[in-house]
Amino acid sequence: INQYIGVGKGQNTVEQYVEYVKNDLMGVARDDLVYNIARHVDGTVHLFEKWGLPIWKTDDGEYVNEGRWQIMINGESYKVIVAEAAKNALGMDNIYERVFVIEPLLDGDRIAGAVGFSVRENKFYVFKAKAVLAAMGGAVGVFKPRSTGEGLGRSWYPPFSTGSSAYFTIRAGAEMTCQEIRFIPVRFKDAYGPVGAWFLLFKSRATNAFGGEYMVERRDELQNWAPYGLVKPIPANLRNYLGMLDVSEGKGPIYMRTEEAIAKLADAYKDDPKAFKKKMKELEAEAWEDFLDMTISQALLWAATNTAPEEKSSEIAAAEPYFIGSHSGGSGAWVSGPEDIAPPEYFWGYANMTTVKGLFAAGDASGASSHKFSSGSQSEGRIAAKAAIKFIVENNTQPNVDMAKVEELKALTYKPLETYEANKDFTTDPEVNPAYIKPKMFMFRLQKLMDEYVGGVSANFTTNKPMLDRALELLEFMKEDAEKLAAADLHELMRCWENIHRMWQAEAQVR
């Protein structure tokens, strides 16, 4: 768990966490939102433990810290445990599963609900609501991923997060923020295994292919980014930038020196061969367990490439960009702060309400409040949900839903199915047709555009104004092509709408 303050034990203060977040985002964060989440997050983690999440403990019964703000868990059932609590609170009668929500419903300047379709049955859903909480994740697959071909779909962030939060809030008319921020995590290459445990627990170094430690050799570069380049810990984007400079100069690949880190940890036992051998086995097991717990594909890649972490280094690399308001990103909706600490211009009645009345946002959906991670996002969800209930109590009228608009949205929703049926027999292969485009090809087109013009992996994360102007020009063609999206079934219909959502997130970033 990446956000735990430890206020009750006097480990840290909420103010210190706010300072850490502001430094890591180089000043681009809302103090009031970060503070509000941080002061509640410990209670959320305690709830997780109460619900059954195994949290590592010391012999004294204290949580085991991985870093200053991180605590160790057995996370293989994390999502199931938290989801079970939500299910029990709501009751199955109030949960609609496998419904893809596509558009908000509005009554003037107030949210009135949402529409969506079942991906399993021929059902169209109209949800009428006095308040709505958007918490539909970030966006993956907007940029061309490193993992292509047989690796397609492997990403650091969940591939089923397709920009729905941004699309929903933008379409509702909500003001957005930090759309220029995308998160580019450095992870073990190709399987996206986490690096945190190696840096923080194993105390490993990262070096270029020639053994140079870019964080040391390029230390002077940090002076150019003062005051943020001079703080500890060094902001993640600056650490990534220094590594990127090495790659640009032809010093790649970048390696995590796992064999060196394991050897150093075992070195304390070198005078006792039996104890040394035992310690090496323990460290080797921990190295594999770290991935088997969290990123099994990384363990598979190690096995497939005959990589023993105690014997040889492993490549690390910057992943393709993601849009995520909860990790080290910041993109999302501009929301109201809490009444007791937000400045007047940041407060408009209800915590975490967007600029659209009755529409609330949390997690990846809310912007300028980075470093929430899973525990902070759940805390923010609790904050937003309670504020939404307060809004309903104080605005207890049912907004009007324009049924003509609903019928219009229903026709729009199922249009790709009709396009496919009307044109599928024009060619011998239904995947290739001059009258329509399938969602997979549409996604590839969008990813190529963003990768080459908007600072993706191929462009080494660099861009400029003429490139962005060209991207906007090509995005206009994408919008035209979106009118011709075709779906053979409900699953493919979902894929069509996922890519429309991605396209809107893409344009928001470019603009």
Task: Identify whether residues 192 and 334 lie together within a single domain.
Answer: no
Selected catalytic residue, list 31, 42, 103, 290 = 290
Q: Are residues 331 and 279 in the same domain?
A: no
CA dihedral 389→395→400→401, nearest 10 degrees, is -20
Amino acid at position 466, single letter: P
Q: What is the pLDDT of residue 355?
A: 99
DSSP per residue, 245-312: HHHHTT-PPEEE-HHHHHHHHHGGGTT-HHHHHHHHHHHHHHHHHHHHHH-HHHHHHHHHTT--TTTS
Q: Which of 24, 30, 146, 156 is catalytic?
A: 156
pLDDT value of residue 144: 97
344 and 276 in one domain? Answer: no
List strands edge to edge, sheet with 124-128. Answer: 99-107, 110-118, 124-128
Give one DSSP letter per residue of 159-216, joined into a string. Answer: TT-BSHHHHHHHHHT--EE-TT--B--EEETTT----HHHHHTS---EE-TTS--HHH
Q: Write b or e for each residue in 255-276: b if 16 or more Cβ atoms lie within 10 A of its Cβ, otherwise e.
A: bbbbbbbbeebbeeeeeeeeee
Say whether both 307 and 430 belong to one domain: no
The active-site residue, picked from 2, 147, 331, 379, is 2
Question: Across residues 365-391, what is the average pLDDT?
Answer: 98
pLDDT tens-digit readout, 170-191: 999 999 999 999 999 999 999 9
Residues 158, 88 share a domain: yes
The tally of domains found in the chain comes to 3
Tokens of 104: 């908000």
Residues 465 and 335 in one domain: no
Q: What is the mean pLDDT of residues 360-380?
A: 98
DSSP string, 364-407: GGB-S----HHHHHHHHHHHHHHHHHHHHHHT--PPP--HHHHH
pLDDT at 112: 99
- Same domain, residue pair 485 and 434: yes
Nearest to 472 by CA among 507, 433, 498: 507
Retrieve residue 170's tokens. Answer: 């933008």
| Residues 336 and 485 both lie in one domain | no
| Contacts by residues 304-307 (CB-CB < 8 Å, ≥ 24 positions apart) | none
Q: Write down the pLDDT at residue 11.
A: 93
pLDDT for the residue numbered 289: 85
Query: For 87-143, what is each residue's pLDDT tens digit?
Result: 999 999 999 999 999 999 999 999 999 999 999 999 999 999 999 999 999 999 999
Are residues 371 and 266 both part of a single domain?
A: no
Of the three residues 369, 394, 419, the one that is the final residue of a domain is: 394
Q: Give the end of a domain, one of 318, 337, 371.
A: 318
Amino acid symbol at 5:
I
Per-residue pLDDT at 291 exceeds 90: no
Q: Residue 116 domain-assigned?
A: no
Whether 200 shows a pLDDT value over 90: the answer reads no
What average pLDDT does the segment 336-361 reach? 98
- The answer as to whether 144 is a domain residue is yes
Question: Structural domain of residue 302, as residue ranges?
Answer: 186-318
**Nearest-5° angle of CA 471, CA 368, CA 167?**
50
Q: How many CB atoms lie within 10 A of CB 207?
A: 22
Asked if residue 105 is part of any domain, the answer here is no
Distance CA(225)–CA(219), nearest Å, equals: 11
Assess whether pLDDT exceeds 90 at residue 150: no
Taking the model in full, what pTM does it have?
0.95
Domain boundary among 318, 352, 378: 318
pLDDT of residue 201: 80
| For range 407-422, the mean pLDDT | 98
Task: Characterize the bridge pairing of strands 132-134 and 359-361.
Answer: parallel
Q: Give 233-255 pLDDT, tens digit per residue.
A: 999 999 999 999 999 999 999 99
Among the residue ranges 293-307, 325-339, 377-391, the one predicted with the least confidence is 293-307
Give catalytic status of residue 491 as yes or no. no
CATH number at residue 489: 1.20.58.100
Catalytic residue among 23, 369, 374, 499: 374
433 is catalytic: no
156 catalytic residue (yes or no) = yes
Question: Which of 187, 257, 371, 502 is an active site residue?
Answer: 187
Binned at pLDDT 50, 70 and 90, residue 153 comes out as confident
Residue 101 maps to a domain: no
Q: Is residue 381's pLDDT more than 90?
A: yes
For residues 438 and 335, state if they share a domain: no
The CATH number that applies at residue 305 is 3.90.700.10
Q: Does 112 reside within a domain?
A: no
pLDDT at residue 186 in the model: 95
- Is 55 a residue whose pLDDT tops 90? yes
Does the structure show a pLDDT above 90 at 402?
yes
Whether 165 is covered by a domain: the verdict is yes
**In this predicted structure, what is the pLDDT of residue 75?**
84
Q: Does one domain contain both 299 and 434?
A: no
The pLDDT score that the predictor gives to residue 136 is: 97
- Looking up tokens 């107030």, which residue turns up? 110
Is position 357 within any domain?
yes
Q: Average model confidence (pLDDT) for the chain?
A: 96
- Within a domain: residue 56? yes
pLDDT at 42 over 90: yes
Q: Which two tokens stand for residue 44?
A: 């959320």
How confident is the model over 152-161, as a mean pLDDT?
Answer: 92
At residue 286, the pLDDT reads 86
Q: pLDDT band at residue 76, thresholds of 50, 70 and 90?
A: confident
Instruction: Give the domain CATH number at 332.
Output: 3.50.50.60
For residues 267 and 294, state if they share a domain: yes
66 is catalytic: yes
| DSSP state at residue 62 | P
Q: Helix, strand, coil shares of the chain as percentages rounded to 5?
A: 50, 10, 40
| Residue 60: per-residue pLDDT | 94
As a whole number, mean pLDDT of residues 382-399 equals: 98
Report the pLDDT value the prediction gives residue 386, as an integer from 0 to 100. 98
Question: Of 40, 327, 495, 501, which one is the catalytic site residue?
Answer: 327
Average pLDDT over residues 350-357: 99
Annotated active-site residue 208? The verdict is no
Percent of the chain with pLDDT over 70: 100
What tens digit of pLDDT does each residue of 469-505 get?
999 999 999 999 999 999 999 999 999 999 999 999 9
- Residue among 24, 31, 66, 451 flagged as catalytic: 66
